[in-house]
């Protein structure tokens, strides 16, 4: 794993790839494309949050952690009801 993360052009390439996959007629491929685009959007949001923390370090760190965790949970399982007993491959 590299230290610097994704470069802007790499994120753009992944976004184009994900957008293209969203138009595929196969449902699972289109879903993978949507997931890629959502993850790219979340990476960009986190990048903004990290820079905000660097610019304004006096804010509460627990709020940032809670906000990121909540957003990731919502993105990973936006429509899944934990009581329905169905998993990812159901």
Sorted by sequence, the CB contacts under 8 Å of residue 86 that are 6+ apart come out as 80
Closest Cα partner for 40 from 73, 9, 80? 9
pLDDT band at 3 (very low <50, low <70, confident <90, very high): low
Give 84's DSSP letter. Answer: S
Give pLDDT, residue 78.
63
pTM for the whole structure? 0.56
CA distance 70 to 82: 15
Q: 17 versus 77: which is more confidently predicted?
A: 17
pLDDT tens, residue by residue, 26-83: 999 999 999 999 999 988 888 888 877 777 666 566 677 777 788 888 877 766 555 5
């Amino acid at each position: 794993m590299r230290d610097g993360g994704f470069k802007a052009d790499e994120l753009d390439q992944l976004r184009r790839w994900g957008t293209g996959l969203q138009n595929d007629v196969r449902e699972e491929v289109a879903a993978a494309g949507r997931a890629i685009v959502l993850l790219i959007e979340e990476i960009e949001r986190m990048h903004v949050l990290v820079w905000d923390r660097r610019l304004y370090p006096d804010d509460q760190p627990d709020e940032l952690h809670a906000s990121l965790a909540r957003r990731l949970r919502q993105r990973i399982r936006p429509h899944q009801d934990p009581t329905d007993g169905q998993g990812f491959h159901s």
